[in-house]
Structures are given as C-alpha cells and as structure tokens.
Amino acid sequence: MESGTSQPLRDPNQNAAALWADGSPTGLVADRVPAGERRRTPPETQALPLKDRVALVTGSSRGIGRAIADELMRQGAHCVYNCVSSIDALQQLMFGREARPGRSVAVQADVGDPQQCQRLLDRALEEFGRIDILVNNAGITRDRTLRKMTEEDWLKVVNADLNSVFFCTRLALPPMIERGYGRIVNVSSIIGQTGNVGQANYAAAKAGMIGFTKSVAREVARHGITVNAVCPGFIDTDMLAAVPEDARQKIIGNIPLGRFGKSEEVAAMVRFLVCEGAWITGQQFNVNGGMHM
C-alpha cells in the first residue's frame, strides 16, 4: 500500500451471510452486483459448521435421537446411527431421506451392554477414524409404582438409560482427548429434575445423567471437551403417543406454552451446544415449554 493512502476496514465480526444478503456493506466494493439484485452465496460454498466432524448418536432410529442425528448431518457431520434392533428398517430410513453433506452408517448395538458398546465405537472408528461428537440418547421406560416395580424393571431402565452413558462416554473419551476436541451431550429428561409417579427407575437414571454430566465436564474441560445435558419435557414421540388422550390433555394443561414439544426442537438445542457451545460445559438445558423452570 502506498504511503498516504487508506482503504476501508471490514469489521471481522460482521456476519458473512448478512454481507452477501445486503449486497454492499460499508467498506466493500458493491459494483460487482447489478443494481437492484441481491448477492447470494452459492449453496455449495455456504459454511457448514460441522463439516468433516464425526458424530455418534445412540438410540437414533426414531424420535428425538433420529432428529438429532439428522440435524447434525444437515450441519455437515458424518454420523453413526444406532439402534438396538430393526437394523434393516433403520437402513431403509437412512437411504430414503433427503441428501445430506456427510456420510452415515447404521450400527445395531445394545449400548447397555459394554461389549456391544465397544463394538459400536470400534465400528465408528473403523468407518471414520475419529469421534468428535457423542450424543447419549438411548433410553427406555418400564413404568410402575415402586411397590409393584420388579428388580428387572429397575435394572433394565437404569442399565439402558444410565449405564449406557458411562459405557459410551468412557470409550469415546480417549480419541477425543487425543485430538484435543470433543462435544458430549447427554439427553436426560424433565423427569430427572422433578420426579414422577410410577417412574422412580426412570427418574433416578435421568437424574444420574445430570450428576454424571457435571462431574465428567470438570474432568475433561482441560482437554477441550465439553459435556452438557439436555432435559426435554413431554415431546410428541411414539412413547407419548401411547398415553391415553385424557392424560395427554392433563399434561398439556401443565405446560405454559400449551403444547407438546417436537423432536426437532430438542435437536436444535443439541445443534447449538455442538456448533456454538465452545464455552459452555457442565450445564443442563431445559426444552420443556416452561413446564419446569
């Protein structure tokens, strides 16, 4: 630059998408776009925040888990989908969906079994060579009042909903630590915060996930890994569809926003934590329509 000349400076924090949409922000040459036309970024060049990241989402054959996995793929991630059964149905769902930027693979594994968990993680590393994002979503319910609850009812829920989080997180941490990066999101529940009649097993497991989240977040923060929990309220999934209509209406009456949530709304929170939550860890985020504040 010649002495005495000056050029306008561009604010490095200015939103790139806004620059293209406006056509001629202050300090940028505007004569490349004809007057009256809007400058647009070609779709193939738009930034994908998770481009080349690898995500593993447990329990992702349907409902919240599937919505999360699909959303992470929309953001550019490669994704490992997981189911405990019906692998053929899951693969057909994956092949039938809209095109996504990343690659995906479906792996059948019961994440409540440490050996099957190991196989799941091994398959992810074999396919993609790394794991950047882990979403512990798998879970079941076996609802009974405590007096009627059997040992099997208790153990199955705690194993599927809580032990699986331990198994998967323990296995995913070494490759994350090696790369100095990781995003772990544990899908807990409003029931883990408030309790519920007939769900002592489920409430204990989901509350345990919150405590687990806070402890592990403290352990791994120095390695560039964040660990957070998302606590959905009553989401309109297959599980909720089985609830009698009169009970459904009673639940809605206790939700300030007056409706059940959508799986995609939970997925949006997970997306935020994974894409923009670099300085957020050890927290629990409520997606519940205001039912618990």
Q: Give 54: exposed, middle or buried? Use CB within 10 Å, 0-12, 13-18, 19+.
A: buried
Give 76-132 as a DSSP string: T-EEEEEESS-HHHHHHHHHHS---SS-EEEEE--TTSHHHHHHHHHHHHHHHS---
Active site residue 202: yes
Question: Quick one: the chain helix, strand, coil %, rounded to 5?
Answer: 45, 15, 40
Backbone angles phi, psi at 44, to 5 degrees: -70, -15
Which two tokens mark 153? 């009812």
Query: What is the Rg, in whole angstroms, of the alpha carbon atoms belonging to the chain?
Result: 22
- The catalytically annotated residue of 81, 128, 202, 234 is 202
Terminal Cα-to-Cα distance of the chain (whole angstroms): 57
Residues facing residue 186 across a β-bridge? 136, 229
Specify the 3-state DSSP secondary structure of 231.
strand
Within 10 Å of residue 12's Cβ, how many Cβ atoms?
A: 5
Which residues does the annotation mark as catalytic?
A: 202
